[in-house]
Amino acid sequence: MSEAPPTPSAAFGAWAGGQVTERALCVLCPNPGPMTLDGTNTWVLLEPGATDAVVIDPGPLHEEHLRAVVAAVEARGARVARTVLTHGHADHAEGAERFAELTGAPTRAVGRGHDDLGDGDVVRAGGLELRVVATPGHTSDSLSFALPADHALLTGDTVLGRGTTVVAHPDGELAAYLDSLARLAALTGGGSVTSILPGHGPVVPDAAAMVAFYRRHRAERLEQVRQALADGAAQADDPVQAVVERVYADVPREVWPAAALSVAAQLEYLRARP
């Protein structure tokens, strides 16, 4: 039997965002759903006393939300100086262009051409320092951001505030995802990062415990998939669907399409490692 995940710091419906560390404020987008949990977390990062803020993931193209983010920054006597994206999925990035129009701030992410972000890059604004940690796996362009001054790590969809994430095959890859979790385990295990500020769901106060749970969960799922294949799913007309029906029987059917992506990623992983 699998061990229980760490208890989320807020129950479903109780997470509303707000100021969570000295430098980090979450503006929660009103787009809750089976894949977005409580909604998308848009993060505003501001050094105390500074007037230049960094925004992580403006969110979907939701005019009221984008304006609420700008208002939250202005209420602190600041302006948005830089916008960065944890990855290109619509619930994080679709509003980026409109947000750039509203703020005049440049947007940086993986795969944006000349202004690409990469592992080890440092994003600075108003004395704030963010370090880029490449964490591909959920998608190939997934990034995390370390905020050393607050011992916090912003993980996008790589680690969530509750539940587990999808490896979005074929762009997302399980081998890359497992490597990324190992890197996050090294970061969180050393004590330099204590909390996770995720892309969806509440803040994770015990970063190391959550990353350890994610690694255990992935290993257990992979074993379940191996077992399902051995029990006959490998011979089914649609092995992915057959595995989903066996391994993800306990998750709501509305997330089965997402589970199918993770299963496809796991089958690809196992094919390369017979």
Q: Please, where are the H alpha helices in the chain?
A: 63-75, 90-93, 96-103, 174-189, 207-230, 239-247, 256-271
Among 57, 141, 157, 173, binds Zn ion (CB under 5 A): 157
Question: Which CB, 65 or 89, lies closer to Zn ion?
Answer: 89
Question: Which CB, 6 or 88, lies closer to Zn ion?
Answer: 88
The interface mask with Zn ion, positions 39-78, x = CB under 5 A, is ----------------------------------------
Question: Which CB, 86 or 266, lies closer to Zn ion?
Answer: 86
In a 10 Å sphere around its CB, with 0-12 CB exposed, 13-18 middle and 19+ buried, how is residue 89 labelled? buried
Residue that the structure tokens 């209420």 belong to? 75
User: Which region among 5-13, 152-160, 233-241, 257-265 touches Zn ion (by CB under 5 A)?
Assistant: 152-160
* Closest to 77 in 3D by CA, of 47, 56, 119: 47
Question: Which CB, 52 or 157, lies closer to Zn ion?
Answer: 157
Which amino acid, residue 267?
Answer: L
Using rule CB under 5 A, residue 173 touches Zn ion: no
Among 89, 108, 218, 246, binds Zn ion (CB under 5 A): 89
Question: Which CB, 30 or 148, lies closer to Zn ion?
Answer: 30
Closest contact distance (angstroms) between CB of 247 and Zn ion is 21
The DSSP secondary-structure symbol of 165 reads -
Closest contact distance (angstroms) between CB of 120 and Zn ion is 23
Which amino acid, residue 149?
Answer: A
For Zn ion, the binding residues in 90-119 under the rule CB under 5 A are none
User: Which region among 52-60, 89-97, 112-120, 171-179 touches Zn ion (by CB under 5 A)?
Assistant: 89-97
Closest contact distance (angstroms) between CB of 207 and Zn ion is 20
Q: How many residues does the chain have?
A: 274
Closest contact distance (angstroms) between CB of 173 and Zn ion is 14
Question: Which CB, 89 or 108, lies closer to Zn ion?
Answer: 89
Closest contact distance (angstroms) between CB of 129 and Zn ion is 25
Dihedral, CA of residue 178, residue 183, residue 189 and residue 192, to nearest 10: -150
Could you give the C-alpha distances from 46 to 55, 88, 207, 224, in angstroms and in order? 9, 23, 22, 44
Contact of 26 with 152, CB cutoff 8 Å: no
User: Which region among 41-49, 85-93, 126-134, 262-270 touches Zn ion (by CB under 5 A)?
Assistant: 85-93
Query: Cα 60 vs. chain centroid, distance in angstroms?
Result: 15
Closest contact distance (angstroms) between CB of 149 and Zn ion is 26
Neighbours of 46 (CB within 10 A): 27
Closest contact distance (angstroms) between CB of 89 and Zn ion is 3
Neighbours of 177 (CB within 10 A): 26
Interface contacts to Zn ion, rule CB under 5 A: 89, 157
